[in-house]
Amino acid sequence: MNDLAQNTYLDVRNPTQPKGNMVLTCDDIGEGSTLSNDYVANIWGFTGNNISPELAWKNAPSETKSFVLTMYDPDAPTGCGFWHWNVFNIPAEWSELPKGKSNEFGNGIIELKNDAGLDGFIGAFPPKGDKPHRYIFTLYALNEVLDLPNSISPAVLGFNLNGKVLATASLTAYYNW
């Protein structure tokens, strides 16, 4: 384990530490852009398409054993934000997640329930009339594969990343209605 991974604790409100040279991109979502209807929920009055985005990455550390991807809204009026997507044990040889494939990955990849209580991805759905919310997609390169069940909470997943993160990359988009 390198020194960076040993001594780093995660801060979801500042997901870019440690950074490294890894880059996370999405052809449909630019940094600072507004999410399209494809990435908006289709529940509770929202009429989005609720499609998980295609995300790609490069420059992961050579010692990466697996990846974790999260989508987090720190602006949700919950007191603790809102987890929209948590995916772990993405194989080290992967460099992208395909569009619309949440809950279909296989290959030992595990997706947690989101904070809406549904399996896998749930798109944006901030309160009507609220300020634009940030949707932070963060990719973590880990120095191991996690031995965790799919029944854990996003908080437990985050706790288990401590000391295992080699690099991170993030992409932030916005949405309101």
Amino acid of residue 9: Y
pLDDT digits over 65-107, tens only?
A: 999 999 999 999 999 999 999 999 999 999 999 999 999 999 9
Which residues constitute the domain of residue 147? Answer: 3-175
Confidence of residue 53 (pLDDT cuts 50, 70, 90): very high
> Where residue 56 sits, what CATH number does that domain have?
3.90.280.10
- The residue-averaged pLDDT of 35-47 equals 94
Compute the C-alpha angle 123/113/69, nearest 5°. Answer: 65
Which token pair is 171? 């992409």
Compute the C-alpha angle 113/37/127, nearest 5°. Answer: 65
Number of domains present in the structure of the chain = 1
